[in-house]
Amino acid sequence: MIEENGITNKTEITGKTRNFLKELPVDSDFNVLAKPKQYISEKIIDAVEEQDISIRKLAKKIDMKHPQIIRVTSAENYNIDTLLRILNGLGLEIIIRKKL
């Protein structure tokens, strides 16, 4: 299914993102960087699906461009401001705790 301007719908995007996350290489940074980013991405994707909101609608809601959100849901590099705006738009928050 295709949205306006040839952009793939949210189901296809989230499905592709989940497949991408499964293919992340395991190296020395995996537990420090990749694994937490993967977890954050999955939680955001879950919230998007649960709220039945498209990436474009979320972007409009939080006054961002959709590629910024895609970077976060793809576990790419992004800044904390972007992450916090996305989380806020989805009604989510970060809780910091000591590692187990």
Q: What is the pLDDT of residues 14-28, one digit of tens each?
A: 565 566 556 655 566
Q: Is the pLDDT of residue 43 over 80?
A: yes
State how far the Cα of 69 lies from the Cα of 10, in Å rounded to an integer.
Answer: 12
Q: Cβ(48)–Cβ(58) under 8 Å?
A: yes
CA atoms within 13 A on the CB side of 87: 14
Please state the domain extents for the chain. 7-89
Tokens, residue 65: 């461009």
Does the predicted TM-score (pTM) go above 0.85? Answer: no
pLDDT at 3: 44
How do residues 59-75 score in pLDDT, each as one tens digit? Answer: 999 999 999 999 999 98
State how far the Cα of 40 lies from the Cα of 86, in Å rounded to an integer.
Answer: 11
Q: What CATH number should be reported for the domain whose range is 7-89? A: 1.10.260.40
CA atoms within 13 A on the CB side of 23: 7
